[in-house]
Amino acid sequence: MKTNIVYLLGGLCLALCAACEKICLDPPGHSEADFIVENTFTNPLVPRGADPWVTQKNGTYYFTYTQGGKLVLYETKAMSELALATPHDAWIPEQGMPYSKNLWAPELHAINNKWYIYFAADNGSNANHRMYVVENSSPDPMQGNWVLKGKVADPSDEWAIDGTVLTYKGQMYMLWSGGNAGAAPQHIYIAKMSNPWTIESEKVAIASPAYPWEMNGSAINEGPQVLISPNGQVLVVYSGSGFWVDTYCLGLLSLKADGDPMNPADWTKTPDPVFSMNAESGAYGPGHNGFFKSPDGTEDWIIYHARSAPGGGSRNARIQKFTWHADGTPDFGVPVKIGAPVQKPSGEPIRKIYRTDNWSIAGYSSEELANDRLAIRLIDNNVFTFWITRYSTAPTHYPDHWITVDMGDTLAVDGFILVQKSGDRKIKELELLVGNDNQTWESLGVVELLDLSPNRQYIDLAQRKQCRYFKLVPVSGHDSQEQPGLAEAAAFILEE
């Protein structure tokens, strides 16, 4: 009897704890109708991103892409929010060296408790492109020093780009695209490595352009990327044709079970492309990809570049989820349409954004009477209307700007959302304050706003706050204009 009472009390305590937790975490007096649930994103992720690459480790994603003159890394916890990642210049080459120019297709890899970035570079002449690698012994690739380990070349030392690595049955290999001084055809080669910076064997060609879809613009196989299927089969996804044509696309190589990567006969090329141009989606020349898992590890995602319009132009980075065919090959589907909502990778934060219908502006330093750029525009749910602090009867200048928003009730807040205005007068540094009476304020510190218009920037708080008012105080701007502007402000809680 005594034991039963103990169990009963224990269960009651657990129930009360669960109820208390829900009361503490959920905003009291609010229903789902009071929120806009943000669980999607749109492609492209960023306006640039040729030859994109993603590495993930310990819950963090590291992104890089071709920038020509240097190696740059970006760090994020959520790939759908890549636009918010701050760039970090990892390595800038010394001038006048064989590797000083045209740094292409960088890839970050974690090998033997160190970090390596493989890349192709030359001295200004494409015919001299070779592969190189830099090393960093810091646990965090965004910290520490990158040291050039040297050129990564097989004994032929011929033109080479797009290097990547594979470890299979305890042996490390390098795969790359090579040819005669950059002239067609370009082949995909593989060779054994003795360490992350040394090729120890002769190279072997495992793929050459053979189908018409691999020869548009030029006969090219390039950008090999290793993909391990759910059943453990080694696959290589590569890019076919010239990157500059709209029909640039992805092909697939498969290594037979227990095959020898150095034996070309053990590789099979799929006769049709596995990911191709789709004009309706605004995806021209999709190719040069990478792979990553969702934060919770349950989903497979591909990152790739494409152009948004036919006939050339800049390449931008995009992501989408993919699945697997019954035979163990990837099913990439078709490129997702640009601007179309895409469900976020599983495990990314889901934000419940408060509706602002009943919000009001409780005060401001100044506003622009002309052009109807009033303070109320900050919460009108239109990113194309702005609050601008000028042309008033008493115009303010830095550092005297401020605007206060009344959320109409005391709300639980996990963070704020800000949207920069288009054009000039963007805010660079902004102090954020919260309060309950529009008189007493708690400063949450100064945050840096990025030039993301019209995309949102999320300001995550270190801990949840209860407040009715929040105050925005511009501290500095991205340009010399003394009267800044801002498009939208909102607040959110995280979905538990």
Q: What is the CATH number of domain 40-343?
A: 2.115.10.20
- Give CA torsion, residues 348, 352, 356, 357, to 10 deg: 130
pLDDT in tens, 59-98: 999 999 999 999 999 999 999 999 989 899 999 999 999 9
Give pLDDT, residue 495. 87
- 168: Cβ contacts below 8 Å, ≥ 6 apart: 234, 261
CA 2 to chain centre: 57
The length of the chain in residues reads 496
Give pLDDT, residue 1. 39
The structural domains of the chain, with segments of one domain joined by +, span 40-343, 352-494
Pairing of strands 183-195, 456-477: unpaired
- 215: Cβ contacts below 8 Å, ≥ 6 apart: 209, 241
What percent of the chain has a predicted confidence (pLDDT) above 70?
93
Residues known to be catalytic: 51, 222
DSSP state of 94: P
Q: How far is CA 485 from CA 18, 216, 404, 420, in A?
A: 44, 47, 14, 8
pLDDT at 392 over 80: no
DSSP state of 437: S
**What CA–CA distance (Å, rounded) separates 72 from 63?**
8
pLDDT in tens, 252-282: 999 999 999 999 999 999 999 999 999 999 9
**What CA–CA distance (Å, rounded) separates 330 from 344?**
20
Question: How is residue 183 written in tokens?
Answer: 């002239």
pLDDT at 13 over 50: no
Cis amide linkage into residue 27, ω under 30° from 0: no
DSSP state of 283: B
**What CA–CA distance (Å, rounded) separates 101 from 87?**
20
**CATH 2.60.120.260 holds for 352-494:** yes
117, 71 Cβ separation under 8 angstroms = yes
